[in-house]
Structure 1
Amino acid sequence: MNKKLRAIDLTMVGVFVALMAIGANITSFVPFMVIGGVPITLQTFFAILAGVILGSRLGAIALTVYTFVGLVGVPVFAQFGGGFATIVKPTFGFIVSYILVAYVCGKIVEKKQSLPTFITAALVGLVINYVLGTNLMYYAYKFWASAPEGFTYKMAWMWMVVPLPKDIILAVFAGILAHRLEKTVLSKGQFKHMKRVS
């Protein structure tokens, strides 16, 4: 297969880098999306969409570009963060997980384009995000970051209970939305072969 990136591919990579930056800081644009002091970010939602819409290769490229853009200092991470110092922050594991999320979600839907497959891919992506991100956060706090008093592995997972319902709902919605787009916009014109570039 042709491995060259076309203009439409590069454009979609740029779109998802921008969407990830917006998703990371959505509460800065929409303050009411803070519920009970917990910000509702959309990074996982857009990482899943990148995979199921762009496919495994292009989705992973988009999220890799997003990560590097943030590491070189562009404020695209949560709370308008950026810079190489981000790599030692406890939450960096979640950022790294987005690349794998996009890749795996893309791989799943490349095999079959049914609605259940899209939803399954989205939920698998969510599990990857939580497992990788939470475990790396735990080890970061244990080995180099300043852990809260009495911090345990169980506490790390308890923190993730708060955003979990929101993320499950958004993951299912991402699967439904992407399937709908696949049957309409993405199956036509210059989008038609986007996922098949590998």
Structure 2
Amino acid sequence: MGAFLSLPIGPVPISLQTFFVFMAGLLLTPTEAFLTCFVYFLLGVVGLPIFAGGSGGPSSFFAPSFGFVLGFMLIAPIISVLSRKIDLNNYVKSFSILLIAEVVLYALGLVYMYYMLKYLGTDLGTVTAVLQAGLIPFIPGDIAKMLIAVLIAPRIKKAITQI
């Protein structure tokens, strides 16, 4: 769902994918959070157009943004494991968990983006250029997604447990 709302701004589009990964991590068990992202990955790789920009298929591995899709499978269970140790109503701790996950996601995604662009013939050259292409434009939106996830996750979790 989050990939369908995307804005192409460079090698990595702006989308709501990370918001849904945050929510999976905050609301699901570590296994469920991983499996949710893994099934998303599999469906996209086999050809369903569910990645950002309506892409899909094995050629997705060559997209500079694909490292972020791979990272989703790592950060969703990390968020889940860490969030199980806190009260989700503690917004500072919840935000801190999402911030840690973002750092891990960007570490993986930016390295993948750099090497994939280099492989495809676009060498960004400097760390600054990599950060300008794949990190800096996303910071305001990612902070907003983290804040919204932190604010609504406890309410959704409470509603789910009451069912």
The two structures have a TM-score, normalised by structure 2, of: 0.87
2:24 is aligned, of 20, 40, 50, to 50
**1:79 match:** 53
**1:181 match:** 156
Question: Which residues of structure 1 form unaligned runs of 5+?
Answer: 1-21, 28-33, 190-198
Q: How does 1:12-161 map to 2 (within 5 A)?
A: 22-27=1-6, 40-114=14-88, 115=90, 116-142=92-118, 144-147=119-122, 151-159=125-133, 160-161=135-136
The Cα shift of 1:85 comes to 1.2
Work out the CA distance in 2 between the residues paired with 1:89 and 1:75: 13
Q: Secondary structure at the match of 2:137?
A: coil
The Cα shift of 1:25 comes to 1.8
Give the number of equivalent residue pairs: 158
Work out the CA distance in 2 between the residues paired with 1:120 and 1:177: 16
The Cα shift of 1:152 comes to 2.5
Work out the CA distance in 1 between the residues paired with 2:112 and 2:83: 27
1:118–1:176 CA contact under 8 A, matched in 2: no
Letter of the structure 2 residue corresponding to residue 53 of structure 1: L
Work out the CA distance in 1 between the residues paired with 2:21 and 2:105: 9
**1:14 match:** none
Work out the CA distance in 2 between the residues paired with 1:108 and 1:186: 19
**2:139 match:** 164
Q: Specify the structure having the higher radius of gyration (Cα).
A: 1
1:25–1:79 CA contact under 8 A, matched in 2: yes
Deviations along 1:41-77, one digit per CA (max 9) or x if unpaired, are 1001111111111121100100000000000000000
The Cα shift of 1:153 comes to 2.6
The two structures have a TM-score, normalised by structure 1, of: 0.73
- Report the identity percentage: 28
CA RMSD of aligned residues (A): 2.0
Work out the CA distance in 2 between the residues paired with 1:169 and 1:187: 26
Work out the CA distance in 2 between the residues paired with 1:73 and 1:104: 27
The Cα shift of 1:167 comes to 0.6
Question: Which residues of structure 2 form unaligned runs of 5+?
Answer: none
1:118–1:178 CA contact under 8 A, matched in 2: no
